[in-house]
A and B are shown apart, each in its own frame.
Chain A
Amino acid sequence: MAVLELRDVHLTYRTAQGPVPAVRGVDLSVDGGEVLGLAGESGCGKSSLVACVLRLQPRSATVTGQVLVGGENVQTMSWRRLRAVRWGEAAVVFQGALHSLNPIQRIGRQLVEPILLHDSAATPRTAADKVAGLLAQVGLPETHADSYPHQLSGGQKQRVMIALALTCDPQVLIADEPTTALDVMVQAQVLELLVGIARQRDMGVVIISHDLSVLATTCHRVAVMYAGRVVELGPAQELFEHARHPYVRALARAFPTIGEARSRYAPAGLPGDPPFPDRLPGGCPFHPRCADAVDECSSVDVRLRPAGPGRVAACVHVGAGVG
């Protein structure tokens, strides 16, 4: 069953220079126990989309469409209900969150606080027991409840952040770039942890990253965003190895396969820069950077099309027998 469902979600910021559409019609769903990867470059709308899920968008933003957490629309629910849904139903580990731990409070105390606030039946004792269990689940010794953040390494702090997100037993966990500040080895440990938690708790997990190769090996399915839309969605490994959208192919190639002769001394890039959301090119927004662009691309704004079992892609070449 889908624990998180987005239906035709749009998010537009009002600015002095006019409206800036950051998210332009996204449909996504995440089942319990599923790990979904969300990839894309800076400015593609990933973080704005996350804001929609907890209704954290600024007042200058207009959101349309439906954001359903456990079947309830987050965007229209009462404030009272929203307060319960945040953390209780859906929790986010924000990018760079390592630094958001309070430096002068012990870890245990920071973990107990949301439990006491959200669960009226909790007592300090039951909350402390729960914290001990959570620390064990994220692979930290119970004694770290008495540590201060500066006594922990980056990887350990990220584990604390994940434990913090789990304190109120949400059905949905969103991790925004959970591994960018971490080392290779620690990165692998944290990703293993997230996948394990999704399975054990039958929770929907969304991992956001700009590194497609990381998502390919960790997630069940991956969605790639460009200019405010999902341009390709499919089973992670298939999408990484045989992407249908030229943009996704370029992203996949950006991380070479070590040992493969054709990428030696030949780093693969993608010329040009992603478009500004307020100055999107006409037609397919990717066409100015696309090596496979044809005349049609500058005029036709292609939406997602079926691209094989469980796969969709937004490219004119898809379904036309090419690509």
Chain B
Amino acid sequence: MSLPGENDTGSGPVLEVEDLSVTFRGRGGLAARALDGVNLAIGAAEIVAVVGESGCGKTTLGRSILGLVRPTSGTIRFRGEPLSYAARALKRYRRDVQLVLQDPTGALNPRHSVYEAVAEGPRVHRLGDEPGRVARSLAQAGLRPPERFLLRYPHELSGGQRQRVVIAGALAVEPKVVVADEPVSSLDASVRGEILALLLRLREQLGLSLLVVTHDLGLAWNIADRIVVMYLGRVVEQGSTEQVLSHPQHPYTRALLSVVPEIEHIPSVVLSGEAPDPSRIPTGCRFHPRCPALADGTAAAAGIADDCRGRELGVLPATGDHLAACHLRPPPLHPPAALRESAG
């Protein structure tokens, strides 16, 4: 599914994130570790969903990938090249990696016509043939015929059409990767499926890779090839969508799945409390204060309750294998140092 003119060969990832950490300095000197060692890889024409609660770091991950947040440590590589933060390189990079935000009404300037909104990217990047590009992008985003929409303003469009304009704006600079942060959560139920179908079609027709940041597991089931589950700045489970959603390994993933309204057969595990504070990451397994497996004695029966409370887990590698960071789970996790060697 590679594009003509694509110069990299083989099936290497388009985008790689290695041991990424982002620390925000808070008031009173408390540092918030929003990302605390994340490995991730996105292949060509692959759709990866990053799921988790608010505060798990999924938005920071998306922003770091776009070069909007500078990592405290770790690297982001695009086609094998480490991301450079020099102005010119970053501008070039942002042609390749584009962003689609949650709320299209907020993302569009109310005083810019559809044409202006979509033409901005090509103009900034001096891509030429502006009208042709705008028309092509609108058509790709499903706004046909494009001429009907060019001179309209956001308030004259429906929510779904606005999101299509935002997507067209991203497509206009011919990106290889699109990072979409909750692309359908502010849209009506009937429009949701149409936008998700569009994202699938873009992957097929343009070979686009997608990183979808969401808390919606149904969305992941609808379109994602792989799922990465995050909790407090770490990946706690990853694997193919079928594996992760049909055979979840981590107690956190299971709890997330159990509160999805459609799933009737699992008794719902409503975790008490909200995602804890990244400035106070618990010792041992960071999920242990809320872990149902620790609370109901499963961990104690397996003789690992002390590990849960006191022994830190390794960082999951960015492989396609189904892995979970949990003391209860069989796949032995190597210590972080060994992982870095094998990855290098």
Please give the residue numbers on chain A whose beta carbons come within 8 Å of chain B beta carbons, in ascending order: 41-42, 153-155, 183-189, 192, 210-214, 216-218, 250-251, 253-259, 263-271, 273-274
Chain B interface mostly helix, strand, loop or mixed? helix
Q: Once the chains bind, are B196 and A270 in contact (CB under 8 Å)?
A: no
A residues near B242, Cβ cutoff 8 Å? 264
Q: Once the chains bind, are B196 and A183 in contact (CB under 8 Å)?
A: no
With A153-B274, A154-B54, A183-B274 known as contacts, the answer to whether A258 contacts B190 (CB < 8 A) is: no
Closest Cβ of chain B: how far from A18's Cβ, in Å?
A: 18
A residues near B261, Cβ cutoff 8 Å? 211, 213-214, 216-218, 255
Residue of B nearest to A215 (CB): B261
B residues near A214, Cβ cutoff 8 Å? 261
Please give the residue numbers on chain B whose beta carbons come within 8 Å of chain A beta carbons, in ascending order: 53-54, 158-161, 188-197, 200, 215-218, 221-223, 241-242, 245-246, 255-257, 259-263, 268, 270-271, 274-275
State A185–B255 Cα separation when bound (angstroms). 8
Q: Once the chains bind, are B192 and A267 in contact (CB under 8 Å)?
A: yes
7 A-B pairs whose Cβ atoms sit less than 8 Å apart in the complex: A154-B274, A214-B261, A217-B261, A255-B218, A259-B263, A267-B194, A267-B223
Residue in B54, B191, B222, B270 whose beta carbon sits within 8 Å of that of A188 in the complex: B270
B residues near A218, Cβ cutoff 8 Å? 261
State A183–B188 Cα separation when bound (angstroms). 18
B residues near A153, Cβ cutoff 8 Å? 274
Residue in A41, A186, A217, A258 whose beta carbon sits within 8 Å of that of B188 in the complex: A41
Q: Once the chains bind, are B192 and A269 in contact (CB under 8 Å)?
A: yes
**What 8 new A-B contacts, CB under 8 Å, besides A258-B217, A264-B221?**
A184-B216, A212-B189, A254-B190, A256-B222, A258-B221, A265-B222, A267-B200, A270-B191
Residue in B159, B189, B191, B223 whose beta carbon sits within 8 Å of that of A211 in the complex: B189
Closest Cβ of chain B: how far from A293's Cβ, in Å?
A: 16
Q: Once the chains bind, are A273 and B193 in contact (CB under 8 Å)?
A: no
With A188-B259, A255-B218, A258-B263 known as contacts, the answer to whether A183 contacts B54 (CB < 8 A) is: yes
Q: Once the chains bind, are A255 and B53 in contact (CB under 8 Å)?
A: no
Residue of B nearest to A258 (CB): B221
B residues near A259, Cβ cutoff 8 Å? 221, 245-246, 263
Residue of A nearest to B217 (CB): A258
Residue of A nearest to B260 (CB): A258
B residues near A263, Cβ cutoff 8 Å? 221-222
B residues near A212, Cβ cutoff 8 Å? 189
Closest Cβ of chain B: how far from A255's Cβ, in Å?
A: 5
Q: Once the chains bind, are A187 and B200 in contact (CB under 8 Å)?
A: no
Q: Once the chains bind, are B191 and A269 in contact (CB under 8 Å)?
A: yes
Closest Cβ of chain B: how far from A46's Cβ, in Å?
A: 12
Q: Once the chains bind, are B193 and A254 in contact (CB under 8 Å)?
A: yes
Closest Cβ of chain A: how far from B252's Cβ, in Å?
A: 10
Residue of A nearest to B259 (CB): A188
State A264–B193 Cα separation when bound (angstroms). 12
Residue in A258, A270, A271, A274 whose beta carbon sits within 8 Å of that of B218 in the complex: A258
Closest Cβ of chain A: how far from B232's Cβ, in Å?
A: 13
Q: Once the chains bind, are A189 and B270 in contact (CB under 8 Å)?
A: yes
Q: Once the chains bind, are B53 and A183 in contact (CB under 8 Å)?
A: yes
Closest Cβ of chain B: how far from A53's Cβ, in Å?
A: 23
A residues near B160, Cβ cutoff 8 Å? 273
Q: Once the chains bind, are A183 and B263 in contact (CB under 8 Å)?
A: no
State A256–B192 Cα separation when bound (angstroms). 11
State A270–B188 Cα separation when bound (angstroms). 10
Q: Once the chains bind, are A186 and B221 in contact (CB under 8 Å)?
A: no
State A253–B262 Cα separation when bound (angstroms). 11
Residue of B nearest to A189 (CB): B270
Residue among B189, B260, B263 with max Cβ neighbours from chain A (10 Å): B189
State A206–B193 Cα separation when bound (angstroms). 27
Q: Once the chains bind, are B259 and A213 in contact (CB under 8 Å)?
A: no
B residues near A154, Cβ cutoff 8 Å? 54, 274
Q: Once the chains bind, are A183 and B275 in contact (CB under 8 Å)?
A: yes
A residues near B223, Cβ cutoff 8 Å? 265, 267
Residue in B189, B245, B275 whose beta carbon sits within 8 Å of that of A255 in the complex: B189
Residue in A184, A251, A264, A269 whose beta carbon sits within 8 Å of that of B53 in the complex: A184
Q: Once the chains bind, are B194 and A270 in contact (CB under 8 Å)?
A: yes
State A184–B188 Cα separation when bound (angstroms). 17
Residue in B158, B194, B197, B270 whose beta carbon sits within 8 Å of that of A192 in the complex: B270
State A135–B275 Cα separation when bound (angstroms). 21
A residues near B274, Cβ cutoff 8 Å? 153-155, 183, 185-186
A residues near B260, Cβ cutoff 8 Å? 184, 258
Q: Once the chains bind, are A270 and B262 in contact (CB under 8 Å)?
A: no
